[in-house]
Amino acid sequence: MTGKNNPIGLFDSGVGGLTVAHAISAILPDEQLLYYGDTAHLPYGDKSKETIVRYSKGIADFLLENSCKVILIACNSASANAFTEVKEHVGDRAVVLNVLDPVIDYVARQSDAKNIGVIGTKATIESNSYHDGILKLNPNLSVSSLATPLFVPMIEEGFVFDDISNAIIRAYLSGQELSDIDTLILGCTHYPIIRNQISRFFNFEVNVLDTARIVAEYLQGYLRDHNMLAQERAGENRFYVSDHTTSFGTIANMFFNEKINLQKRSVW
């Protein structure tokens, strides 16, 4: 097993996992992060399970080569479709975590949550991971799911906080599927970027969960419980992409106060 001061590796199809990386940096400032955005293959949400598994294993190998102590699949589509395969592939070389289980556990324990809505990519929604996971832990809850596949390319193209994004948000969320919810799970790590717009659509009457924060707090507890917290910062955070995109650098710099030095790296 790698050392306590080794980096935490995260990966996503694009910028979405930066919401999780930012939340981790806020509560675990001593941890060095190594982020990989597979921008050449985004979005994962419309890919087959076999393709998502292949991409995820390749990135996991890259993170292992960089001595990551934890590999956090910071992508709901990959978490829903490739977590078991990546965990078996990595073995005891690193801890493998996903972004689904912490949120499922959190929601199932909330006393004020009755009618849960879930939005995400097609791959995540069709996997039924949130629906089945929540009802397994708390069968008294009601769970409604809705695929919102245009959100990821919209965000990746930089259409946020404008009339275009508001129109797309309104078109999806006006559906009957989410008409009676009191809690909403953002089942894609891209979606916290538009969390305020989503909350505004519901007139702030729905608890739109800060899923990135929930995942970061889960990771903090895991590292503490397993005596894996870094004793000192080993170096600067590192950011890799499989293909350079303008929006990635813009959004990355929006989340992190430090200058983001993007490195292009193909891992296949």
By annotation, the residues acting in catalysis are 75, 188
Cis peptide before 149 (omega within 30 of 0): no
For residue 243, which of 56, 15, 48, 66 has the smallest C-alpha distance?
15
In whole angstroms, how far apart are CA 167 and each of 67, 159, 162, 193, 196?
43, 11, 9, 16, 14
Rounded-to-integer distance, Cα 135 and Cα 113, Å: 13
Q: What angle do CA 95, 120, 167 make, to 5 degrees?
A: 140
Handedness of CA 260, 220, 63, 7 (dihedral sign): positive
Beta-strand runs (E) in the chain: 8-12, 33-37, 70-73, 95-98, 115-120, 142-147, 183-187, 207-208, 238-241, 262-264
Distances (CA, A) of 141 to 13, 109, 111, 158: 31, 10, 10, 35
Q: Which residues pair with 98 in a beta bridge?
A: 73
The CA-atom distances, in angstroms, between 9 and each of 189, 211, 246, 262, 266 are: 15, 18, 23, 15, 16
Residue with the two structure tokens 């399970």: 49
Length of the chain: 268
